[in-house]
A and B are shown apart, each in its own frame.
Chain A
Amino acid sequence: MASNNALDDVWISDSDSHDDKLSNDINKLRENHLKSGFLDGITQAKETNLQKGFDEGFPQGALLGSQVGQLLGLLQCLDQKYGDQDESLRQDFNTIQKEVRINKVLTKGMFNEDLNLVGEHPLLAKWKPIVKSHCDKYSVHTSV
């Protein structure tokens, strides 16, 4: 019995250590390749997703910028022509330059979690009718 047990022990322990070694090697192999795959994946995804986001954000920003710019340009040109005699026009031209600054237009609170606008931008909604009324007063036709 004793020798049998001893024999079993030998075999068992030998087979255990063989399996352990194999599974250790495989684990190490797995860990190494998993890690290098993960790093490559992150790098690849970062570039792709940054670019994807940029390309989708750009036209939306361009549209906002051009809408804001149009309001600004209308008031600036009207102010240059009539601002000396039109106090409220002058005041609105001064105010709009502060209120539609990039950091006030591009504010997280005005977009949803995917950075899309829900409806019209609040600052455009505020300024369009103001600018329009100045345009009407001086018979300026605008696409606003």
Chain B
Amino acid sequence: MDTDYLLNLEQQFYQEGYEQGLSEKAKENYIEGKQFGLQVGFQRFVILGQIQGIVEVLKSSLVDGSSILKNVESIERLLADIQMSNDDDAVAEYESVIVKVRNKLRNVLLSLHRQCGRAGDPLTLESIEEASTRVAGQLKAYVEEENEEDVVNGQDHAMEW
């Protein structure tokens, strides 16, 4: 029996085990990843949809050509450009757009409040984010672990469902 034959045999046995390992729990792992992906995707996009809804209401009472309306429309354009994907470019884009959207919305809400000077609770970025957090839960897992691999490995943060 020569060495080549033995090495070949070793390789063959290894490969056989490897194939078995690959198919073991493939479906369970896929489903586990999908649950976590659904969760993180949901958590990341509630606030954006919410701002879209708020912007739609604000638009209904703004005067054509006003500077506030222009700002509101630029928020809408930013929102329309966001990709709902987990690839690196989309995630980086999300991070940069959400900062811009937040800042613009904060200014719009302040201007509106100053303009009407109405009594009562004004709509603030804080009250918007509170409602968002109530619905989406905390984003702890994602904020602490930015890159894709960590997100997947952060399974202990995934909720039960």
Q: Which residues of A are interface residues toward B (Cβ below 8 A)? A: 26, 29-30, 32-47, 49-78, 80-81, 84, 97, 100-103, 105-108, 114-115, 135, 138-144
> Which chain B positions have C-beta within 8 A of A144?
53
For the residues of A in contact with B, the DSSP-based class is helix
List the one stretch of B8-16, B63-71, B95-103 in contact with chain A.
B8-16
Please encode chain B, from 30 to 43, with 1 for each CB lying within 8 Å of some chain A CB and 0 for all others: 11111111111111
In B26-83, which residues have CB < 8 Å from any A CB?
A: 26-27, 29-61
A61, A135, A141, A143: the one contacting B42 at CB < 8 Å is A61
5 pairs of A and B residues whose beta carbons are closest in the complex? A41-B21, A57-B37, A53-B33, A73-B53, A69-B49
Q: Is the CB of B135 within 8 A of A100?
A: yes
Q: Is the CB of B50 within 8 A of A69?
A: yes
A-B contact pairs, 16 of them (CB 8 A): A29-B10, A32-B13, A37-B17, A37-B19, A43-B21, A49-B29, A56-B37, A58-B41, A61-B38, A65-B44, A69-B45, A72-B46, A78-B57, A101-B135, A102-B39, A141-B59
> Which chain A positions have C-beta within 8 A of B19?
37, 41
**B86 interface residue, CB < 8 Å from A?**
yes
Q: How many residues of B contact A (CB 8 A)?
A: 75
Q: Assuming the A-B contacts A73-B53, A76-B128, are A106 and B42 also in contact, with contact meaning beta carbons closer than 8 angstroms in the complex? A: yes
Q: Is the CB of B53 within 8 A of A76?
A: yes
Q: Which residues of B are interface residues toward A (Cβ below 8 A)? A: 6, 9-11, 13-27, 29-61, 84-87, 120-123, 127-128, 131-132, 134-137, 148-149, 151-152, 155, 159, 161
Q: Which residue of B lies closest to A116 (CB)?
A: B34
Q: Which residue of A lies closest to B84 (CB)?
A: A62
Cβ distance B149 to chain A, nearest Cβ, rounded Å? 8
Q: In whole angstroms, how far apart are the Cα atoms of A75 and B43 in the complex?
A: 19
Q: Is the CB of B84 within 8 A of A66?
A: yes
Q: In whole angstroms, how far apart are the Cα atoms of A58 and B40 in the complex?
A: 6
Cβ distance B117 to chain A, nearest Cβ, rounded Å? 15
Cβ distance A83 to chain B, nearest Cβ, rounded Å? 10
Q: Is the CB of A57 within 8 A of B33?
A: yes
Cβ distance B58 to chain A, nearest Cβ, rounded Å? 7
